[in-house]
């Protein structure tokens, strides 16, 4: 029965009439909207609700928003509404893959480094601090030059900059928790280092991972947009907000504002939703924040 306790506690926290929980709910709604669009975008297109975002119109002249094209069309003849919605699909694919890769690398390294200490800890600290010192977009640009375009390549380029965050948070918590009496008792009873790490330490540092994951996903969207704007992200035919903003830049002086407004607004809205959700999770998982309410 103990397994079911977190869910009622989470629902109870969401039901509190505080500003933080209301903002978290707003962030959750925004995030779910983009997830639904990303997951069912292809189905919406098959049902005729969305035009093909890669198909140029027979008359590739930019058209203002209208009943036929809600967000207008671009100078390349693309339907901006379809490109904007399908941009969520590309964004979620890349950033979820990127943050998952960084999580899978940073969490084990943080656990091992914090638990074992010694020279390994010093070497890993030096490497992670060196990576963290680089601006995230600059590091992603450098890696994108090396690995090239594509969803997996873009995810790899974005993921490297987030590994130090998982590493430092998990390492610091592991260093603090490993001196607790229950860890000493487990080792005294013959628990192997692998069991101590996976069974005891990992469960005690787990609460910080959802917060980092959500906030890093929000940051990764901006990095992916920056790569797309510079022509280093996904292939040109893939609908992606950063690339569409790059195409819209030349059209702005001629008064074609809609090709830049809607992709930029979608990117900002998605990042805002994820940031609100991440801040809410941070407050929920932080005992001090809950006790101060």
Tell me: the pLDDT tens digits for 104-144?
999 999 989 988 888 998 999 999 999 988 888 889 998 98
pLDDT of residue 11: 61
Distances from the Cα of 232 to the Cα of 120, 195, 226, 243, angstroms: 35, 42, 9, 9
Q: What is the pLDDT of residues 194-237, one digit of tens each?
A: 788 777 788 777 777 888 888 889 889 999 999 998 888 888 77
Q: Is 214 within 8 Å of 274 (Cβ atoms)? A: yes
Residue 15 is predicted with a pLDDT of: 65
pTM of this prediction exceeds 0.85 = no
Task: Give the CATH superfamily of 20-52+72-291.
Answer: MetI-like (1.10.3720.10)
Contact 277, 215 (CB under 8 A): no
Phi, then psi, of 269 in degrees rounded to 5: -65, -40
Average pLDDT, the chain: 83
- Domain edges within the chain: 20-52+72-291
Percentage of residues of the chain with pLDDT beyond 90: 23
């Amino acid at each position: 029965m103990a397994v079911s306790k977190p869910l009622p506690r989470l629902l109870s926290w969401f039901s509190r009439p505080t500003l933080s929980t209301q903002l978290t709910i707003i962030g959750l709604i925004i995030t779910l909207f983009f997830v639904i669009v990303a997951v069912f975008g292809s189905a919406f297109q098959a049902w005729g609700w969305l035009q093909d975002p890669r198909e140029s119109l027979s008359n590739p002249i930019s058209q203002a928003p209208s009943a036929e094209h809600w967000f207008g069309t671009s100078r390349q003849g693309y339907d901006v509404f379809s490109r904007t919605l399908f941009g969520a699909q590309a964004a979620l694919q890349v950033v979820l893959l990127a943050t998952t890769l960084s999580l899978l690398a940073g969490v084990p390294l943080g656990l091992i480094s914090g638990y074992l200490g010694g020279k390994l800890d010093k070497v890993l600290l030096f490497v992670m601090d060196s990576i963290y010192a680089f601006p995230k977009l600059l590091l992603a640009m450098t890696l994108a030059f090396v690995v090239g375009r594509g969803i997996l390549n873009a995810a790899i380029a974005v993921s490297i900059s987030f590994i130090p965050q998982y590493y430092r948070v998990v390492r610091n918590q592991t260093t603090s928790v490993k001196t607790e009496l229950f860890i000493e008792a487990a080792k005294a009873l013959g628990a192997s280092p692998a069991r101590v790490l996976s069974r005891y330490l990992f469960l005690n540092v787990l609460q910080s991972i959802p917060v980092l994951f959500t906030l890093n996903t929000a940051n990764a969207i901006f990095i992916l947009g920056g790569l797309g704007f510079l022509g280093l992200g996904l292939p040109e035919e893939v609908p992606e907000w950063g690339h569409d903003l790059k195409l819209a830049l030349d059209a702005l002086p001629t008064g074609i504002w809609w090709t830049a407004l809607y992709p930029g607004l979608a990117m900002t809205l998605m990042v805002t939703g994820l940031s609100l959700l991440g801040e809410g999770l941070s407050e929920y998982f932080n005992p001090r924040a809950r006790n101060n309410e």
